[in-house]
Amino acid sequence: MVDILIAIAIGVTIFWVTRRILIMLATPPPEVDPDEIIEVEHHYRCSTCGTELIVTAASPTENDPPKHCREEMTLTWRGGS
Ligand SMILES: [Zn+2]
């Protein structure tokens, strides 16, 4: 009897976690108002392969550096605001 209850609990947990993951993946990120985009000049470099990237416009709500080679890029120079 206890085995059945444990199996049901595991099943419900797997179902709930899978459902939450699918809802998270299916939800698009919030739309950004184009008027809120800030002009910046951020130079990034990938520490793995050396690729360099210049960001000229950024969202005020997104401050994470871009990723390359599955790693966050290193900020090498920051201009603008
Ligand atoms: Zn890279």
pLDDT digits (tens, 9 = 90+) for 27-69: 887 777 888 888 999 999 999 999 999 999 998 888 889 999 9
> Across the strands, what pairs with 45?
52, 74
Which pLDDT score, from 0 to 100, does residue 35 have?
A: 87
pLDDT at 50: 96
More confident residue, 7 or 33: 7
How far does the centroid of ligand 1 lie from the alpha carbon of residue 3, in Å? Answer: 49
pLDDT bin (cut points 50, 70, 90) of residue 21 is very high
Residue given tokens 């416009």 in the structure block = 57
What are the contacts of 47-55 at 24+ separation with CB within 8 A?
A: 47/71, 47/73, 47/74, 52/76
Which helix (H) or strand (E) is 4 found in, with range? helix 2-26
Residue at token pair 């920051």: 78
Ligand 1 mean position, distance from CA 74 (Å): 11
Contact between 71 and 48 under an 8 Å Cβ cutoff? The reply is: yes
Question: Ligand 1 mean position to 49 CA, how many Å?
Answer: 4
CA distance 59 to 57: 7
**Cα of 43 to ligand 1 centre, how many Å?**
14
Distance 70 CA to ligand 1 centre (A): 8
pLDDT at 2 over 80: yes
User: Which of helix, strand or coil describes residue 30?
Assistant: coil
pLDDT at 80: 62
